[in-house]
Chain A
Amino acid sequence: MTAHIKIQLFAMFKEIAGRKEIVQDIHPETTLGDVLNGLAKKYSKDFKETIDEKTRQVDISTLVMLNGRNIRDTDVKLKDNDLIIITIPVGGG
């Protein structure tokens, strides 16, 4: 059976992609970086700024959460049913 992940997009990422949720098939070696690069290629604009070019980690102007936990390491391998949220770090209440 094919493994898949769910990606939820908020704020400008949702607006740019024109959708809130993407379900994507993955293979055992798929990393967070693969997913973010794929989205950048497909949607461009703010998606192109999600990875810091110098550190190759998630840029601090983007908030990426893996199963509810913020994540910077783009080398992390994804597994079946992971939920990735891509939004902006904006705080408050």
Chain B
Amino acid sequence: MVWNRKIAFINLSTGKVSQKLVSKTMRTLYLGGRGLNMHMLYTLLKPKTDPLGHENVLFVGAGLLGGIPCLGSGRCDIAAKSPLTGAVGDSNIGGFFAPELRFAGFDHLAITGKADKPVYLLIKNGEVEIKDASHLWGEDTFETQTVIKRDEDDQNIKSLVIGVAGENLVRFANVRTGMKNSAGRTGMGCVMGSKNLKAIAARGTVPLDFAYPDELLEYCKQMNNMITSTRWAKAQSRWGTMIIYSNTNTTGLIRTRNFQLNRLEEGEDLEPENIDRYSIGTSGCYGCAVHCRHRYVLREGPYAPLYGEGPEYTSLGAFGTMVDCKKMETILVANHLVNKYGVDTLETGGLIAWAMELYEKGILNDKMTDGLKLQWGDEEAVYEMIRKIAYRDGFGNTLADGFRGAIAKIGNGSEYYAIQIKGMSNLHSDERPTPSFALGIATSTRGADHLRSRPAIDLYGLPEDLLKEIYGGSVATDYNSYDGKSRMVWWQELLYAITDSIGTCKFQTVFCAVHAPKWKEFSKLIQLATGMKLSKAQLMDIGERIYTVERLFNLREGFSRKDDSLPERYFKEPTPIGLPAARNKKIDRKKFNKMLDEYYELHGWDNNGIPTMETLKKLHLDKEPSNLT
């Protein structure tokens, strides 16, 4: 299945397309998906490349296991230098695109240059065609997909598309597929827009030849049966990721009014059960037995009729808790709008919440916001800001450049209130009571982010012997503790690097549940699908290699230990409310720095976070173009 899949190199400036097979050596070093994308990002980009220039390369990569019938194997990794952060740009998207790309004969695309007019790529059974997309420019992300299917007279085409936000070079524009799925983070839609690339459409019928098809099918059945029998999968199937809200909000682990509170009071309407008023059922991604997304309809009200899918827990925060909106309907409308325009839900909500706090404090005024009163809980202001950002209209143009650009324009102490790391917004979780989560968002290579390492099982109070068995070292049971939490973050970083490289869903690994599939199961699936024998230790080394390559990329771009930190408010302002375990908590700077030292050591990096030569040699990275001097 792996050995006859190709990389297509596409230059949109010249229209030239070349293809080559992925070597077996590259597979054993990086697997596929995020791993191979990161290798190419590091080796093909020159230092200080302009993220919006012709030289930036957009990489699209299916996972090594893309197309197997379990673990949500439809994940696709999209990478480039980020126009939001200037660091590693990388975002992962579910749905059905990645398997279709593989059926079309390709595992990876490397797209460089800039088309002189809007184009889309049609990838079909070994061929890549660059087609005119002038008629699609200005269309939203839903309509764009519909028109491509109609134009190509093929309802089975799967497309990655951008909306108007990508066209307008909003620095956190996303890439979308289907009604629900988004590669949300780090502005990969902005990179597509900078290349005049409206969409990438795939369709194919080239069979995937698995190494041991019968055994693979049987093992996938076992995986699906195991997952669907668990209580967490049943809950995800019933309520989606919104299920997390009830517990975290009651406890006081959710940032509210930007970062002023850590619980949404009177937030009962956001309880997951209330999606039942709007839901007409659930659906899932390719190869997924969980089906965690709701299909919802608004039949009444000013925004009816409206059909959407989701929302995720993160959207409850982005357009609920962070902006102090307390109605489920607000979440559903805002979720639909960001999906339609193609902007990242987290970044958009984070920026609007920040702007609301600045407005409250008088740092922003009506003149600066085009007369828009950015008051807490005003859903109409939220909807209008989403539109203004997508179209770079007035004050929306300020926020469309992300935190860095907006802070430079607004100044006046606004930076202190920004809950961002490396230029990227954090989600709505409040990590002050959970040092492991705090370390994870600080060290993430792509900016404040829970999907690089979040050890969610830290919240479960698991027995120390079980934690030791999983993490290979001592980890404290108490989620308030700093002890061993660097090990948790390091281990999860390696695991998620593998998950993103084989193209399976993080919810079906040790994110949600301690007994979910991990190294052993991944190893067996890789062997049955491809014939490659990789032990747990070898997979951990691959994860380490991928994460270290990302680190090298960021170091080369000027990032350093000082960027692996938290917004000052985490150290200075204790959580004001919540249950006792979450109340009056802030991050201890000294203990945080100790965790960071331990974390670097586990990776084999020095005290400044620079990989040692010994580590580079061990990972076969010593010959790579480090350009660190």
A→B interface (CB under 8 Å)? 8, 10-12, 14-15, 46, 57, 60-63, 65, 67-72, 83, 85, 87-93
B-side contacts of A92, CB under 8 Å:
241, 244, 313, 450, 454, 456, 507, 511-512
Contact A90 B250 (CB under 8 A): no
A-side contacts of B317, CB under 8 Å:
93
B-side contacts of A93, CB under 8 Å:
241, 244, 312-314, 317, 427-429, 450, 454
Closest to A55 in B: B463
| Complex Cα gap A70–B253 (Å) | 14
A60-B514, A65-B251, A68-B582 known; A87 vs B246 contact (CB < 8 Å): yes
B415 at the A/B interface (Cβ < 8 Å)? no
Pick the residue among B232, B312, B507 that contacts A89 (CB under 8 A).
B232
A-side contacts of B314, CB under 8 Å:
93
Pick the residue among A65, A85, A90 that contacts B512 (CB under 8 A).
A90
Mark B429-471 against chain A: 1 for CB-CB distance below 8 A, else 0: 1000000000000000000001000101101111100100000
**Which 10 residue pairs across A and B have the least CB separation, nearest first?**
A91-B456, A70-B461, A68-B579, A68-B581, A69-B581, A10-B246, A89-B460, A90-B232, A68-B251, A67-B580
Mark B285-314 against chain A: 1 for CB-CB distance below 8 A, else 0: 000000000000000000000000000111
Contact B239 A11 (CB under 8 A): yes
Chain B contacts with A in 183-220, Cβ cutoff 8 A: none
| Complex Cα gap A68–B239 (Å) | 22
| Complex Cα gap A87–B450 (Å) | 22
Closest to A63 in B: B460
| Complex Cα gap A83–B477 (Å) | 20
The 30 sampled A-B contact pairs (Cβ below 8 Å) are: A11-B235, A11-B243, A46-B231, A60-B463, A60-B514, A63-B247, A63-B460, A65-B461, A67-B581, A68-B580, A68-B582, A70-B459, A70-B461, A70-B477, A71-B461, A85-B250, A85-B251, A87-B246, A88-B231, A88-B232, A88-B243, A89-B512, A89-B514, A90-B232, A91-B244, A92-B241, A92-B313, A92-B450, A93-B313, A93-B317
Mark B580-601 against chain A: 1 for CB-CB distance below 8 A, else 0: 1111000000000000000000
Beyond known contacts A62-B231, A88-B235: 19 more, CB 8 A cutoff: A10-B247, A10-B250, A11-B235, A11-B239, A12-B235, A14-B273, A65-B251, A65-B461, A67-B579, A68-B252, A68-B579, A69-B580, A85-B251, A88-B231, A88-B243, A89-B513, A90-B235, A92-B512, A93-B428
Closest Cβ of chain A to B96, distance in Å, is 22
Closest Cβ of chain A to B496, distance in Å, is 13
| Complex Cα gap A14–B246 (Å) | 11
B-side contacts of A15, CB under 8 Å:
273
Closest to B478 in A: A69
Closest to A67 in B: B580
B535 at the A/B interface (Cβ < 8 Å)? no
B234 at the A/B interface (Cβ < 8 Å)? yes
Contact A72 B250 (CB under 8 A): no
| Complex Cα gap A61–B478 (Å) | 18
B59 at the A/B interface (Cβ < 8 Å)? no
| Complex Cα gap A88–B454 (Å) | 18
A68-B580, A89-B513, A92-B244 known; A12 vs B252 contact (CB < 8 Å): no
Closest to A87 in B: B247
Closest Cβ of chain A to B492, distance in Å, is 11
B-side contacts of A60, CB under 8 Å:
460, 462-463, 466, 514
| Complex Cα gap A91–B496 (Å) | 14
Contact B428 A89 (CB under 8 A): no
